[in-house]
Amino acid sequence: MNRAVCLLCSFLVSLCAAFHHVGGGTNREKTNCKVSHETKHTECEREVVYRVPLSCGRCYIGQTGRCIGDQTREHAASVKATTAAGDLPAHCHVCRCVPEFSGLTILARGRRGFARGVLEALAVDAGADECVCVPSIALHSREVEYLGGPHLWRTGGGWEDAWV
């Protein structure tokens, strides 16, 4: 057997294992946040893939295992900083736009970091024209197609309320 085929097969097996419980745990309780956030842009939630609209019409897509409130606070601080690194502050400094955290939406939920990374990559791929970010994980076009393709996200058929 060809070595490339074996590597691809083992990668697909690991992806299948990561997505084994899609939709199977939607009754999971949300984690109560122990932090009293000064600025609360959205309900506290962990282990999510999220989308932040920008005033220029584009968007930022990210994923976190931490509290989304902490993540948005850090994004807001990085955009205000003059020398902050990262896709969001870099775009905002050049474009002179601002993130609209009040419009933040949760695209997907995932317990495992790898699964969230794949879901983030699918969402970024689907919105490639409007996204100002690079996904945490790079997927080959065949992997995107195998996992349902970007049209799932464009038509709203993504894994919005699935716990991976």
User: Residue 152 belongs to a domain with what CATH number?
Assistant: 3.40.1440
Taking the C-alpha atoms of residue 119 and residue 45, their distance in angstroms, rounded to an integer, is 17
In DSSP notation, 106-146 reads EEEE-SSHHHHHHHHHHHHHHTTTTB----SS---HHHHHH
Residue 127 lies in a domain: yes
Residue 145 lies in a domain: yes
Could you give the residue ranges of the DSSP H alpha helices within the chain?
3-18, 68-80, 87-95, 113-126, 141-146, 151-154
If one counts the domains in the chain, the total is 1
Task: Please say whether the dihedral angle defined by the alpha carbons of residues 113, 51, 41 and 31, taken in this order, is positive or negative.
Answer: negative
Angle in degrees, 0-180, between the axes of helices 113-126 and 3-18, rounded to the nearest 10: 100
**Which residue range is the domain that position 158 belongs to?**
44-163
Residue 11 lies in a domain: no
Residue 3 lies in a domain: no
Contact 69, 41 (CB under 8 A): yes
Residue 61 lies in a domain: yes
- Classify burial at 38, counting beta carbons within 10 Å of its beta carbon; exposed 0-12, middle 13-18, buried 19 or more: exposed
Residue 31 lies in a domain: no
Residue 17 lies in a domain: no
Q: Is the pTM of this model over 0.85?
A: no
- Classify burial at 119, counting beta carbons within 10 Å of its beta carbon; exposed 0-12, middle 13-18, buried 19 or more: buried
Choice between 160 and 38, residue whose per-residue pLDDT is larger: 38
Q: What is the pLDDT of residues 51-108, one digit of tens each?
A: 999 999 999 999 999 999 999 999 999 999 977 789 999 999 999 999 999 999 999 9
Residue 133 lies in a domain: yes
First-to-last CA distance in the chain? Answer: 32
Taking the C-alpha atoms of residue 61 and residue 49, their distance in angstroms, rounded to an integer, is 7
Residue 1 has a pLDDT of 46
Q: Calculate the average pLDDT of the chain.
A: 77
